[in-house]
Amino acid sequence: MVKEILFATSNQGKARELKEAFKQADVDVIIKTNADLENPPHPIESGHTFEANAKIKAHELADFSKMPTIADDSGLMVDALNGEPGVRSARYAGEAHNDAKNNAKLLAELGGVPKEKRMAKFWTTIVVSMPGEFDKDLVVSGTCAGRILPLPQGEDGFGYDPLFYVPEKGKTFAQMTTDEKNEISHRGRAVEKLLQELNNLNKKKKGVHFGTPFCVYK
């Protein structure tokens, strides 16, 4: 029974959302992050898709940690910008992963674009990998549609959350609690699919468990 898993990230906002989602689903595991490792590698996200980048992170950190590893790659795709910033969302304004600069660049690129043409969606792909068994990766994705506001609203969240307005909720991601965001967000929906896939696998075969009641591989 695996009681610890690694979430291959240094983004504590992402980690908080995953931990809360697992807690709500009564998944009894300890979720470690890169911050819990000594001198972890820093994978180069050279893929051209969210799945490719998630696999790069999952495989490299699984190899390093020898732990079952979850990795995700997420991004914002804006219709008026032909899907940008996409896989470069975290590095939109440079390699420093600076949220404020990324948001500022996004607003500059959308200068003069009317409200009805500021539609966008967030996308997350999650990969679960076991060390040395990468041919058995589990892959799920989730999306959330919304609109980019002309000015940020809300104090919580991270990344583009203050600009991403969800009409069905009448607020931005940054104005939501973690539970509210997990209900509808791209990552929350991907995690929901992940938990369902793990449950399905657990019903079919015995194997390595991510705590009770999840099984991933033989």
26 has catalytic annotation: no
4-217 CATH pick, 3.30.1330.10, 3.40.50.720, 3.40.80.10, 3.90.950.10: 3.90.950.10
- The pLDDT value given to residue 206: 54
| Residue in 26, 63, 72, 73 annotated catalytic | 73
pLDDT tens digits for range 81-112: 999 999 999 999 998 889 999 999 999 999 99
Split at pLDDT 50, 70, 90, the class of 54 is: very high
Residue 55's alpha-carbon distances to 1, 22, 76, 185, 196, in angstroms, are 24, 21, 19, 21, 20
User: What mean pLDDT do residues 159-186 have?
Assistant: 94
Instruction: State if pTM tops 0.95.
Output: no
pLDDT tens digits for range 117-133: 999 999 999 999 999 99
User: ∠ CA 65-70-71 to the nearest 5 degrees?
Assistant: 100
Whether a cis peptide bond, with omega within 30° of 0, leads into 213 is yes
